[in-house]
Each structure stands twice: as structure tokens, then as C-alpha cells.
Amino acid sequence: MKLVDKFIRTQLELTKPIADGQPLTEARSLHDRIGRVMHHSRRRDVVIVDDYIKEPDSALIVPRDELRGGVILYLHGGGYVCGTEHAANGFGSVLSAELGMRVVPVEYRLAPENPYPAALDDALMAYRAVVADGTEPGRIVFVGDSAGGGLAYALALKLKELGEDMPAGIIAISPWVDLTLSGDSYDHNKEADPSLTRERLEYYADCYVGEEYCSPTMGAKQKGKEQPKRIRTRSELRKDPLLSPLFGDLTGLPPSLIFVGEDEILLSDALSMRDKLNECGCSVHLVSRPEMWHNYVLFCLKHFKSDYDYMNAFIRRVMPKGNERKLKWMHIDNGGKIYPASRTSTWHNVFRLSMTLNEEVDREVLQSALDVTVRRFPSIAVRLRRGVFWYYLEEIPHAPTVQDEKCYPLARMPFDDIRHCAFRVIHYKNRIACEFFHALTDGTGALVFLKTLVAEYLAEKHSIHITPGFGVLDRLEPPKEEEYIDQFPKHKGPVGKSRSDTDSYRIHGTPEDDGFCHVTCFMIKSKELLDLAHSMGVTVTTVLAAALSVAAIRLQNQDKVNKRRHKEIKILLPCDLRRIFGVDTLRNFMLYVTPGIDPRLGEYTLSEIAKIIQNKMQLEITEKNMRAMIHTNVKDEETLILKLAPLFLKNAVMKFFFLLFGEKKSTMTLSNLGVVKLPPEMTPYVKDVDFTLATQASGPYNAAVISYGDMLHMNIIRNIKEPRLEYEVYRVLRECGIHVKVESNER
Amino acid sequence: MYCVKCGVELADSERKCPLCLTPVYYPGLEEDPERPFPRTEIEVEKVSLRGINFIMTFLAAIAIIISVIADINTSMGFSWSGYVVGGVVLSYVVFVLPMWFVRRSPAVFVPVDFAVAAIYLWYISFATGGDWFWTLALPITGGLALICSSVTILIYYLRCGYLYIFGGASIALGALSLLIEWLIHVTFTLPVHHMWSPYPAITLGLIGIMLIVIAIVKPFRESLARLFAL
């Protein structure tokens, strides 16, 4: 016997006489405390969702690392008289964490206040509620320890009696299946058992059997005369199969796995149950451990870790095939295919979304919220892998660790990092930032992820309930198929559209030698910009694109190039296709338009440019035109020769075309995610939302816009030393009477 | 607070205007404001050349070992592999050896390259039984070594007077061509039919003189700069 065992045994033996004389309230509070400790030890591995079932009020324990579908209905022990919410959640958490399954710990009513059949009724109601919630009975396993083990069998018998579907299996830990205490181990293990005594079990049994049916109490007396047959003696009732399943007809019960310690007085209960199940033709496996005491499994002894292997193997055997969680994998969508190919040693297409709270962010809670959130996003919580023909995305088994902020955002993601996890979560003071490799999703999809993450964080931190909606997803619902399939091929038009386009002006400057990126945030009152846009009859995005165009025209003038050799100024504007096609995907689903301004034609005013951009956008952003553009993109991907080309060849070709044609066609990108709306429960906590793009591969600038509350934030990023564009943009805005406040990550 | 030059409103953490880079002047400047980003620098990975050097050394060693073994196996002696070894060593000294050093002074490496080339030539003349090393190969190599070394050293350390340097080098090369013809005649005792060396000598000499003239006469240099302006 190991030293730990000896120690625990001695402790149990010491408390044995005390426990016998203990009042019920103390016994209950002891159970409660043990449960709290157990849950505390596993609090990192599980999430408890309260009020999952209303009647009987039971929680749902979700493992952070959910390995398989299905639900465990856990019936706690405590002789039907002990065990409350915390006691049930305690071992429930252990089960959930060890088996990687959702657990519903049933808080059935306790005797003697609520004698038989209260506990059984509650267990039945909980079972029905789980089934009603969408879990097939074939994916439910009953787990019960001690009295809970007996209750599990009683529930199975009850289901048989009612003709309802049976669960997949029953795992019983030191089950108490014989309330008559007739087994011989009550005598020969009397001394050896370090915790239980016959007297105590007698008392529990009496409590559970109750007074009403067996003794002439007030209630029974009144009804007694009318229903004399209902009155049975205590001993008769104790033999009832729904109290002592050992005496029932066990045929047709699902497979069982029973654990028992050989030193406990309930040993014969387990042995007889095994024999009886065998007799009735049920599959049963008994694990008995020498020198172990009652409910030894609950003590989580290190050298009996294999007990959980037994449970895992049992569940794998009884559950339908394909129940085990498989890491999803998916092709990169048509819009994202260019990003892994176009990456260079110093540049990746990444973007950042961040939320600044009104309080300091708790790193531990954030990590825990991230663990929960990633499960909901199998298409975003992924890593990039190399296939023979294409890159593909694979779900990551665990959430990545929250990282520290550095002196600039969107630092290079080495390919080795992307291979392990293609997004990162960064925490700095009040801010939670997520940086995504663009192959995973676009700004709109990423915003849903960030909102959901922050909602989960706030819910965990402040124990508030945040109603899903406004882009916040329910963290515990399963991912929907629509969210992670590639939407491009579905919305392909009948014919394509030429991609040919003219080259545009490129801003240049002195590159920062160490890759430092300057981010300048322009903080503008949304109202002022909106008024300006309305006065010109255009949108806010257009006004900002026009302002950037005017600034770029001025820069080109400063470059002292012959005016006749000036190139077009083209601001690349991503447009969200979700709105056009009415789909809710979390993958990439956007295209670009690049309205151009030709400075050779003469001088332009801001409103002139704004009108040109607005008109060009209206012409191009139509459903038909977008379908044609999608056709062109999808057609390339579907060409057989291209399909069969090995990845390295594809990469070389795609990179060549990207550098030659892709980037030269635009001066810079301006991405506007619009106004961020949050559930009303979240708004008091969230101060700012920010959106930042990485620079272009060969261009030094990019700009990203997002609005929250009454403020609009435009983050302009650059990797050159001189703030050329920023200064000009500010001048343009100032000339229009727009007040700007700037903040930067100055060196 | 506001920028004193461009007038933009600045966040409290700014110490110089992010738009016009003007330092902030403000009486109530906070000592340690809350910055939007920490100062933690991101370490940029630098590719180490040492790894490449090791690989190159390894490859050179493999080439030498394999050719020597193959030579010994086939001809039971040391026949053609000597040339291979010499060639590999020469290219190693020229291309890889300087990579091992942080400061690569041409004063050291250019003469060393020529010295190794001379040794290689000596080996070839010795192995082929030719009698041309001391009278032909060594003087030509020496002359080229002198010219190349002086040009590279002068350019590397002076970083000016390129016209003088190249003019001088051009004249020296012309002179070398005369020397080469004379040495060929001496070594191989050829009958004198016609002389070729004056042509390159005169051309190179004239180019050299012209470069020096351009260098000396400033107005001429400027007019040429105007004429050939891109």
C-alpha cells in the first residue's frame, strides 16, 4: 500500500466514529466542502454553466478540451441524504475534465426532507431534459457513486418500466444497490472498512425510504384508509427494485462498468450486482481494487489513474462510432489562398482588432475565456499546414497562450508560428487584441471572434449574462456549417471579368531598418465626418478614401516627377460580400474595388474626388459584378492543371503574379468595418475598438477604420521613417474643418 | 495638448508630434504617461552567415576528399585530382574565406587571392612539365595582383579620386600588356612576326590619360556631367 493511501486511510479511520454521530447538517457541509475543493482543483479545465436544467436545478459542466460528444448524467453519492450543488459539481468537474465530456450533475432532492421517490423523479426529469435538449439517449452515460450508483440503476429500471430509451451505459462507483444491507461484506469488512458502518447506512436507508409509506405518520394515516395496499413495511419497501436495483429484473439494461474497493462494506453490493447483471445477460465489467475503501475513485489517487482509462475505453465502446471529436480541417477559401503564397520573409498579411476596456484586463480570466471561445470557432482557431497541392487549415486542439504586447502591432508572424496557430491574442493593460493571418478570415469574421471573446471574458470576470446577438455568438452552441464553408464557389457568376488594371502611384520613403511599424490613430468624432459626408452626398468611407487620395496626390506632387508621368491614385476598398449575398460566414468573404483618380487630368477638390469614388463604387459593387469577379477568381483555382501543380510551383507562380500585378494596382488599402454594435450588457465595460491592417508587402502604408460609440478611429500604419501621408491626411481633414486627435506608438 | 507646429490635438502619451515630428511643448507634461504600446522591442532575427560558411566549407571538403579518393582508386596515384583540389581551394579562398571574417580588408584578401592563384598556376606548370611559370605566369600574376590590389585598396580607403585611380590603373594595364608580349616571346622563343601589344597599350594609355585630364580640368568635368546627365 502506498504512503498516500495509508495516510488517507488513517484520516478516514480517525473520522469514522465522529462521522457516525454527526448531525446531518454537518455531514452535508462536509460534502459541500469536499466538492468545492474538487472543483477548485479542476477549475482550469472546465466551465460551469449554471441553470442548464431548471427542474431539478442543475448545471452543465463543459470541459475546455472537449474530446467527444454526448453527455454524462452524474448522480452524486451521499446516501441520498447528503450532497448539494457544490458536492455534485466537484466530482462532475473531475469527470468532465478526465473524460473530455459534458457533464450534467443532477441536484436531486435529498432525504429525509424529500424521501423516495423524490430523488428518482428528479433524476428522471434531468434525463428527460438532457434528451429534450438534443442529446440522443445513445450518447448519454449515467455515472453514479455510492447511492448515486444505486440511483443510476434505479433510473435505468424506471426507464425500462416506462418504455423509454436507455442510456448508452452506466458507470457505477462503489454502488449502493441493496438497501436491505444483506451482503456478507457488511460483516467481514466491518473492521477493514475505514469509512462506512452498517449503522450509518441503516440510518440513510431509513431516511430515504421515508416515513410516509411505512410508518403510521399523519399523512399516511389520513390516506391510509383509502389506500391500504400502498402501505408497505420498511423492509418490504427497501426491497423495491427502484430502491434496491439488485432485486429487480435487470434484463435489457445497458452495459455497466463498476468500480469497487475490496475493503469496503459495500463490496458485496458490487459483486452481487455484477453477478446479477451477468445472469440477466447484460454486459458488465468490474474493477475491484484491493485494500481500497468506499468511493476510492473520487480521491483521484495517482496510481489509479488507469480507472479513468477504463472509463474512457468503456465510453468509447458504448457510444456510437464517430462520437470522438476530430480536429476539423478545411481548404483555405478562395479569397484567402493568395495570402500564404504571397508571404515573404518579412511580410505577412495580418490584421488586428482590439477592444479597450474601462478596466485592467485580468490575464488569467482572458486565457480561460479564450479556451472557451476557440471551441466555437473551428475555422478561426486553426493553424496553417502544408499539403501537397494546397495549404490547408487545421483546427488547433488547445487555445494559444495570451501574449504580451510589443512596441508595435502586427509584428511578423514567422511561418513556424502560423504552423502552430495562425492567430494570436495579445493583452496589454486595458486592451485585448487579436491578430489574425488573413487566410483564416476577414475583418467581419474576426470582429465576431473578438466580440465573442470579450463577451466571454466579461461574463467570466463579472459573472454577468450576455445575451448572444450583435455579433456575439453563443459560446456553447455548436458551430454552424454555414459559418465555415467557403462561400465563394457558391456565388460564382456565369462569366468572368477581366482583372486588367493600370498601375498606381506608390508612396515611398526611408524604410525602418529593424521592421518597426508606426501606427498613428486618428480619433475623429463620427458626427463631424458624417455631416461632411452628407454635405457631399457620399458615405464616410468615401470621404476618408477621398482624403487619402488628396493626400497621395500631394505626395506625388512633392516627388517632383514630371506631371505628365504621374500615375493614378487608387485606394483599394474591401467590400463585405455578406451583405450583398446575405450569408453569415466566418471565413473570408470580401472582394475589392479600386476606384482610381488620374491626377494628370488636372486639379481636384475633395468633394470632386469623393463623388468620383462614390460613383465608381456604386457601379462596381453590384451583385452581378461581384459574381463575375468571383467567377474569375474561382475559375483559376478550378483549372485542372493548376490544381495538379505541386504547392511550391503554385506558390512561386502566385507570388510572382501578386508582386507583379496585385500590389502595383493600388496605392494603399482603406478598410472600414463600420460601426461596432455590442450587446447592451457589454457596452458599460468597453471603451474603444480599434482596427489595424499590416502594411502592404511592397508599399509602406495602409489604413483601417472602425467606429464605436460616437468616435471613429482610423489607424494608419507605416514602415518608413517619415510620416508623409499622415501629415497630409491631417491637413486635408483640417481644411474640411474636421477636428482630429492623434495617438501613436512613437519610438 | 496640441502640436505647436501643425496644431493637431495630441494624446497625453505623445512626446513628439506623430505628424510633423515636432517635440511637444506643454507645461503639464506627465512624467510617465500611459502609452498605447509598451516599449518592448521586437527582436528581429538575423540570418547568421556562419551556418552558410560551415556548409560551404563542408561542401568544399567533400569535393576534395571524393576527387582524391576517386583519383587514387582509378589511377593508383595522384593525377588529375590535384587540379580539382587546386581549383576548389582557389575558389574557396576567393569566395568563402573572407566570409569568416568580420572586417574584410582588401589589403589582405586581394593579394592573398593572387598568391593562391600563383601557387595553383605553379602546380599546373609543375604537373604538366611546362616551363612557363617563372618567366610568364608569375610576372603576369604579380603585375595583375599589384594593379588590382592598389585599385581596390585605394578605392576602399580613399573613397574619392576615382578618376585618378582608374586612369592610373588603365595606364598600368596598358604597360602590362607590353610586358606580357615580351614575356611570351622570352618564354616560348617565338619568331617576331608582328607586335600586338602596342594596340591595347596605346588604347588603355589614352583612356587613362583622358580620365586623368578629366579629373584635373574641372570645367571639362562639369560640362561632361551636364552632357551625360540622366
Average pLDDT of the segment spanning A612-620: 94
Comparing CB atoms, the residue among B36, B38, B41 nearest residue A743 is B36
Q: Residues A477-531: pLDDT tens digits?
A: 778 888 888 889 899 999 988 877 888 999 989 998 888 999 999 999 999 999 9
Do the Cβ atoms of A267 and A260 come closer than 8 Å?
yes
Q: Is position A264 annotated as part of the catalytic site?
A: yes
Interface contact A406, partner B, CB < 8 A? yes
Query: What cell does A539 get?
Result: 458615405
C-alpha span between A630 and A561 (Å, rounded): 37
Do the Cβ atoms of A328 and A398 come closer than 8 Å?
no
Residues 6 or more apart whose Cβ sits within 8 Å of residue A362 = A461
Residues in chain B within 8 Å Cβ distance of A428: 37-38
* Residue B48, pLDDT score: 67
Mutate to test the interface with A, among B5, B8, B32, B39 (most CBs of A within 10 A): B8
Q: Residues A317-335: pLDDT tens digits?
A: 888 877 777 778 888 888 8
Under DSSP, the state recorded for A433 is: E
Residues in chain B within 8 Å Cβ distance of A742: 8-11, 14, 17-19
C-alpha span between A224 and A246 (Å, rounded): 29
Q: Residues A658-683: pLDDT tens digits?
A: 877 777 889 999 999 999 999 999 99
* Residue A540, pLDDT score: 95
Do the Cβ atoms of A142 and A156 come closer than 8 Å?
yes
Residues 6 or more apart whose Cβ sits within 8 Å of residue A227 = none
Average pLDDT of the segment spanning A120-136: 91
C-alpha span between A124 and A152 (Å, rounded): 10
CB contact under 8 A, B14 and A743: yes
C-alpha span between B209 and B167 (Å, rounded): 6
Under DSSP, the state recorded for A663 is: G
Interface contact A563, partner B, CB < 8 A? no
28-57 in B: which are within 8 Å (CB) of A?
Answer: 34-42, 44-45
- pLDDT(A217) > 50: no
Residues in chain B within 8 Å Cβ distance of A514: 41-42, 44
Task: Indicate where chain A has its CATH 3.40.50.1820 domain(s).
Answer: 3-216+234-318
Do the Cβ atoms of B5 and A732 come closer than 8 Å?
no
Interface contact B61, partner A, CB < 8 A? no
* Residue B46, pLDDT score: 65
Please state the φ and ψ torsions of residue A284, each to the nearest 5 degrees.
Answer: -145, 145
Residues in chain B within 8 Å Cβ distance of A744: 11, 14, 18, 36
Residues 6 or more apart whose Cβ sits within 8 Å of residue A608 = none
- pLDDT(A6) > 90: no
Burial of B153 (0-12, 13-18, 19+ CB in 10 A): middle
Label the pairing between strands A431-437 and A423-428.
Answer: antiparallel
CB contact under 8 A, B36 and A745: yes
CB pairs under 8 A between A and B: 83
* Residue A104, pLDDT score: 93
Residue type, B207: I
Task: Indicate where chain A has its CATH 3.30.559.10 domain(s).
Answer: 329-484
C-alpha span between A714 and A521 (Å, rounded): 6
Options 3.90.1150.10, 3.10.20.600, 3.50.50.60, 3.40.50.1820; CATH for A3-216+234-318 is: 3.40.50.1820
Residue environment code for A686-722, b if the CB has 16+ CB neighbours within 10 A, otherwise e: bbbbbbbbbbbbebbbbbbbbbbeebbbbbbbbbbbe
Interface contact A165, partner B, CB < 8 A? no
Average pLDDT of the segment spanning A177-186: 90
Label the pairing between strands A140-145 and A71-75.
Answer: parallel
In 3-state terms, what secondary structure has residue B69? helix
- pLDDT(A223) > 50: no
CATH superfamily, domain at A329-484: Chloramphenicol acetyltransferase-like domain (3.30.559.10)
Do the Cβ atoms of A245 and A270 come closer than 8 Å?
no
A525-530 long-range contacts (CB < 8 A, ≥24 apart) are A525/A710, A525/A711, A525/A712, A525/A739, A526/A675, A526/A707, A526/A710, A526/A711, A526/A712, A527/A710, A528/A737, A528/A738, A528/A739, A529/A712, A529/A738
Find the helix or strand (DSSP H, E) in which A569 lies. Answer: strand A569-576
Comparing CB atoms, the residue among B8, B19, B40 nearest residue A404 is B40
Higher local confidence (pLDDT), A540 or B30: A540
Residue type, A362: D
* Residue A736, pLDDT score: 93
Find the helix or strand (DSSP H, E) in which A705 lies. Answer: strand A701-708
Average pLDDT of the segment spanning B196-212: 94
Please state the φ and ψ torsions of residue A177, each to the nearest 5 degrees.
Answer: -110, 5
Do the Cβ atoms of A380 and A586 come closer than 8 Å?
yes
Please state the φ and ψ torsions of residue A112, each to the nearest 5 degrees.
Answer: -80, -5
C-alpha span between A46 and A63 (Å, rounded): 4
CB contact under 8 A, A414 and B42: no
Do the Cβ atoms of A413 and A346 come closer than 8 Å?
no
- pLDDT(B88) > 90: yes
C-alpha span between A486 and A452 (Å, rounded): 22
Q: If pLDDT is split at 50, 70 and 90, which confidence band does A727 have? A: very high
Average pLDDT, chain A: 88
Residue tagged active-site, from A264, A456, A483, A726:
A264
- pLDDT(A214) > 60: no
Comparing CB atoms, the residue among A407, A519, A739 nearest residue B41 is A407
Q: What is the pTM of this model?
A: 0.69
Torsion of CA B219, B224, B226, B229, to 10 degrees: -150
Mutate to test the interface with B, among A430, A510, A714, A742 (most CBs of B within 10 A): A742
- pLDDT(A220) > 50: no
Residues 6 or more apart whose Cβ sits within 8 Å of residue A657 = none
Do the Cβ atoms of A426 and B57 come closer than 8 Å?
no
Do the Cβ atoms of A129 and A72 come closer than 8 Å?
no
9-28 in A: which are within 8 Å (CB) of B?
Answer: none
Report chain A's C-alpha Rg in angstroms: 33
Under DSSP, the state recorded for A304 is: G
- Of A10-14, A176-180, A213-217, B73-77, where does mean pLDDT reach its minimum? A213-217
* Residue B118, pLDDT score: 95
Average pLDDT of the segment spanning A92-116: 89
Strands (E), A33-85: 46-53, 58-63, 71-75
* Residue B5, pLDDT score: 92
- pLDDT(A62) > 70: yes
Q: Residues B41-78: pLDDT tens digits?
A: 877 766 667 788 899 999 999 999 999 999 999 888 77
CB contact under 8 A, B18 and A518: yes
C-alpha span between B79 and B225 (Å, rounded): 57
Q: Residues A546-603: pLDDT tens digits?
A: 999 999 999 999 987 788 889 999 999 999 999 999 998 999 999 999 999 999 999 9
Q: Residues A287-302: pLDDT tens digits?
A: 999 888 898 888 888 8
Nearest residue on chain A to B44, alpha-carbon basis: A514
* Residue A439 exposure: Cα atoms within 13 Å on the Cβ side: 27
Q: Residues A463-474: pLDDT tens digits?
A: 898 999 999 998
Under DSSP, the state recorded for B98 is: G
Residues 6 or more apart whose Cβ sits within 8 Å of residue B217 = none
State how far the alpha carbon of A159 is from the alpha carbons of A63, A386, A500, B95, in Å.
28, 51, 70, 85
C-alpha span between A393 and A400 (Å, rounded): 16
Comparing CB atoms, the residue among B13, B21, B40 nearest residue A723 is B21
Average pLDDT of the segment spanning A437-444: 93
CB contact under 8 A, B16 and A740: no
Burial of A508 (0-12, 13-18, 19+ CB in 10 A): middle
Nearest residue on chain A to B9, alpha-carbon basis: A741
Burial of B199 (0-12, 13-18, 19+ CB in 10 A): exposed
